[in-house]
Amino acid sequence: MSLNVTALHDIHTGLGATMTDFAGWSMPLRYASDRAEHAAVRERAGMFDLSHMGQIRVEGPDAGRLLDYALVSTPSTMPIGRARYSLMVNVNGGIIDDLIVYRTDDIDFLIIANGANRLRVGDELTARSEGMKVAIQDKTTARALIAVQGPASLDIVSSVIDDADRAAFVELGYYRHGLFTLRGIPVHIARTGYTGERGYEIMSDANVAVDLWRILSEAGETSGVIPCGLAARDSLRLEAGMPLYGHELTEDLTPAEAGQGRVVKLDHDFVGSAALRGRGEPATALYGLAGEGRRAARAGATVSIDGNDVGRITSGILSPTLGYPIALALLTPGLEIGQVVTANVRGKEQSMTIVQLPFYSSTH
């Protein structure tokens, strides 16, 4: 079966990117060096094509009511111009997807869903909207999403925002979004990010994506911006302690078991709320682990204390920024910061210490 391609596919192949099948899309894994791309985002700026992410419009008089019922939070209470991280769960409380909801006006919302889950999210929204006055449209294939992430991102993007919009763009706060014009091109820009750095997600019609990529690339030349692939995006999000669907989040886990219980608002009824209210204490909790040396504990590695199994690693790398192994793990609740555990790293025992998340925090 042929893979979906984004509007920027020819740009990536022209730059010599290593392409990979990601959620049915042909996406750049890296262009040259994972470490160089990671470092560019931490020190200067990097550009990502995230057009595989689902862009789903929910519009109509009952849009807010639908999202309150379909998600674990209450998007109907969001002011226009705000964004909110949320979850969709099944009737048993298992996580279907984590997503971001943007409120664009009184009756219009945009959902950015994971590329692997966008069809499921769209189907669930449709099923949960029965009897409501709402239109649900998956706009993914007609849209593009370019992320500019890193300390220089504000300077780069503001330099190409049209004069009339520049002041409003510069004042755009975290988890805020709005409509702007970039060199005459209408765009929707959000400041949400997935790297732990200041950054912007620029959404547009797919037919102007190549122009936007080139404009942003040229604007970032003096800042040292480079294109970045999915490998760097994964190492960046892990340093920032952010969960990834399929690793820290799965349909077998409830939000509380995946360390995301704070997102759930049980003050309203939604699909899965009855199951979550009836749950006892979670069987797992999400922890950050830090080790020594150069050997990284990978996903699936078992974790023990005094020979007793207490859980498993869900994501692990040798941190490019910090220089030592870090990992996220789902372990027995009640463990403490500073406690030492043992991870099975390719058949060898390795000590790791429970640390406060995130591993890395930007000063920008």
pTM here? 0.96
Q: Chunk the chain into consecutive blocks of 10 residues (it has 364) and report each block's average pLDDT, rounded to whole numbers.
A: 93 98 97 97 98 98 98 98 98 98 96 97 98 98 98 98 98 98 98 96 98 98 97 98 97 97 96 95 96 94 97 98 98 98 94 98 78
Closest-CA residue to 232 (of 317, 106, 298): 317
Report the length, in residues, of the chain. 364
Contacts 24+ apart (CB under 8 A), 163-168: none
Check residue 364 and give its pLDDT.
63
Helix residue ranges per DSSP H, the chain: 9-14, 34-43, 63-70, 118-128, 153-158, 163-170, 209-219, 230-239, 273-277
Task: List pLDDT tens digits, range 328-358.
Answer: 999 999 999 999 999 999 899 999 999 999 9
Percent of the chain with pLDDT over 70: 99
Rounded to whole angstroms, the Cα distance separating 335 from 301 reads 18
Check residue 4 and give its pLDDT.
96
Residue 361 burial (CB < 10 Å; 0-12/13-18/19+)? exposed
Q: Domains plus CATH for the chain?
A: 4-51+142-239 (3.30.1360.120), 284-355 (2.40.30.110)
Check residue 239 and give its pLDDT.
98
